[in-house]
């Protein structure tokens, strides 16, 4: 229930922020350039709240001389019921009668450069917001797992590339990687672009060397649940002793009489060396009796334990409702806090925004050409799920998600598809080449085609979302 709540909350907040940023770009530039804005709406459908603001009219023009004092701006601000977008409605002769005294403030009466600036402002503000969000993430810093290589599967791509247990991946394709998250991002980028992966690693003795992994063994990361497993690579984790650190009430461990501090010595006569092997042993035995030898206060105690069945009916797993005791300082070697200074983070945030923009375009192109799986697509359900996870993970993760989605919105809106901002810019480019606007009939036909394409895309991403839920 909590995860569902976080998903809904995260989705509404994320979309609300990003739509507001996008539409504010159109709104702010339009107002600055003297165009009258009739409505600024976040969301579609029935208005839930609406109000009117005040503005100071632009100065420096004779037509503004009578309006130098602060006046009612005639803009209606709306929060509507359907939080899946928004719009800015400007004064326009194509959408209704315009009083002669207001003609100079109509969008359609503006120069090509003014109209283009207003249209491009929405995506531009998305990119600016992404830079700010990435900057905040870099300054606040992330706590992540140091990219230490654990088990490497025999004959796997990672093994053939020369990676061994104990290596630390310090860079991928010459990009520094302080955490496993950064490593995975570089893997995903290589998967999209089809580039080879060059690892720079620091070995257990402190020396550095490079290893190459060919592109043809990487595959499409969207097709697999665990990209690292596909490469035969596992992160290195600390080894916890098989000691009970927490026991939940009304679960199998409590019912069997296990206590905090108990050390599992053996299970069914087999020695238990660490917590992970104990977890795997339990998971393989749902509903089956396990005879334990438990070390408690210096003596061995026999305990009968029957794990509860969890998971699915087809693939049940054992669960006892207990967590390991974590020795103090055991994570010090594995966790890292990565951050940058406030000034240092500015160019880094710009580069991140650019890299994500390029990567988004490449993913889109590979999907269009059939080189990438449709599983790379995601809609509102996937966004809601990601937002829920980000909200529960904290501010830094939520800001990172906002930055990534903002980049995606900026890129998507610049595509030359009618009804999108990029479609309007395409019309303006054709107008500039022809020396006159396109006919209303041509633009209407383009809008209908664009709407059909957009609806088809929405249907496709919803299908992908639902497929993920039921798979």
Catalytic residue numbers read 23
Distances (CA, A) of 377 to 5, 186, 339: 24, 19, 31
Q: What angle do CA 51, 124, 16 make, to 5 degrees?
A: 40
Q: Are 213 and 199 in contact (CB under 8 A)?
A: yes
What are the backbone dihedrals phi and psi of residue 95, each rounded to the nearest 5 degrees, phi first?
-115, 5
Q: Are 309 and 316 in contact (CB under 8 A)?
A: yes
**CA 365 to CA 371: how far, in whole Å?**
8
Written in H, E and C, the secondary structure of 296-320 is ECCEEEEEEECCEEEECCCCEEEEC
Say whether 53 sits in a helix, a strand or coil: strand
Distances (CA, A) of 23 to 11, 27, 404: 18, 6, 18
Say whether 87 sits in a helix, a strand or coil: strand
| Paired strand residues for 148 | 168
**CA 446 to CA 302: how far, in whole Å?**
77
Q: Are 438 and 429 in contact (CB under 8 A)?
A: no
Kindly report the length of the chain: 471
**CA 62 to CA 66: how far, in whole Å?**
8
Written in H, E and C, the secondary structure of 170-212 is EEECCEECCCHHHHHHHHHHHHHHCCCEEEEEECCCCCEEEEE
**CA 464 to CA 451: how far, in whole Å?**
20
What are the backbone dihedrals phi and psi of residue 75, each rounded to the nearest 5 degrees, phi first?
-95, 130
Task: Measure CA 148 to chain center.
Answer: 24
Torsion angle of C-alpha atoms 116, 118, 120, 121, degrees rounded to 10? 160
**CA 266 to CA 272: how far, in whole Å?**
5
| Paired strand residues for 76 | 39, 52
**CA 158 to CA 54: how far, in whole Å?**
62
| Paired strand residues for 293 | 266, 302
- CB count within 10 Å of CB 84 equals 13
């Amino acid at each position: 229930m909590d995860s569902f709540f976080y998903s809904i909350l995260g989705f509404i907040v994320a979309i609300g922020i990003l739509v507001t940023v996008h539409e504010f770009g159109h709104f702010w530039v339009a107002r600055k350039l003297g165009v009258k804005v009739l409505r600024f709406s976040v969301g579609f459908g029935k208005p839930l709240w609406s109000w009117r603001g005040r503005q100071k009219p632009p100065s420096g023009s004779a037509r503004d001389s009578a309006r130098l004092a602060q006046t009612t701006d005639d803009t209606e601000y709306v929060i509507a019921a359907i939080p899946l977008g928004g719009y800015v409605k400007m004064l326009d002769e194509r959408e209704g009668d315009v009083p002669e005294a207001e003609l100079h403030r109509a969008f359609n009466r503006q120069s090509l450069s003014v109209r283009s600036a207003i249209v491009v402002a929405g995506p531009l503000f998305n990119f600016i917001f992404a830079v700010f969000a990435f900057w905040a993430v870099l300054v606040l810093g992330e706590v992540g797992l140091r990219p230490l290589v654990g088990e490497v599967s025999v004959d796997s791509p990672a093994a053939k590339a020369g990676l061994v247990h104990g290596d630390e991946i310090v860079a991928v394709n010459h990009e520094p990687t302080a955490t496993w998250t950064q490593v995975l991002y570089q893997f995903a980028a290589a998967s999209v672009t089809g580039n080879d992966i060059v690892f720079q690693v620091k070995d257990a003795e402190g020396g550095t060397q490079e290893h190459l992994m060919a592109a043809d063994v990487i595959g499409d990361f969207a097709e697999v649940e665990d990209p690292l497993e596909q490469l035969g690579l596992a992160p290195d984790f600390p080894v916890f002793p098989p000691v009970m650190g927490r026991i939940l009430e009304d679960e199998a461990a409590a019912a069997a009489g296990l206590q905090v501090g108990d050390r599992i010595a053996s299970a069914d006569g087999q020695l238990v060396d660490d917590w992970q092997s104990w977890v795997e042993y339990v998971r393989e035995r749902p509903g089956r009796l396990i005879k334990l030898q438990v070390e408690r206060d210096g003596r061995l105690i026999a305990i009968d334990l029957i794990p509860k069945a969890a998971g699915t009916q087809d693939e049940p797993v054992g669960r006892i409702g207990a967590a390991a005791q974590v020795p103090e300082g055991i994570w010090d070697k594995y966790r890292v806090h990565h951050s940058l200074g406030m000034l240092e983070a500015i160019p880094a945030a710009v580069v991140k925004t650019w890299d994500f923009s390029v990567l988004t375009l490449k993913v889109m192109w590979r999907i269009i050409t059939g080189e990438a799986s449709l599983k790379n697509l995601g809609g509102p359900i996937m966004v809601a799920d990601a937002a829920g996870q980000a909200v529960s993970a904290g501010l830094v993760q939520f800001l990172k998600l906002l930055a990534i989605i903002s980049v995606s919105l900026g890129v998507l809106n610049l595509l030359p598809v009618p009804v999108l901002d990029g479609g309007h810019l395409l019309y303006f480019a054709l107008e500039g080449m022809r020396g006159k606007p396109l006919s209303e009939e041509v633009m209407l036909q383009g809008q209908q085609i664009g709407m059909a394409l957009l609806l088809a895309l929405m249907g496709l991403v919803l299908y992908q979302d639902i497929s993920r839920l039921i798979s």
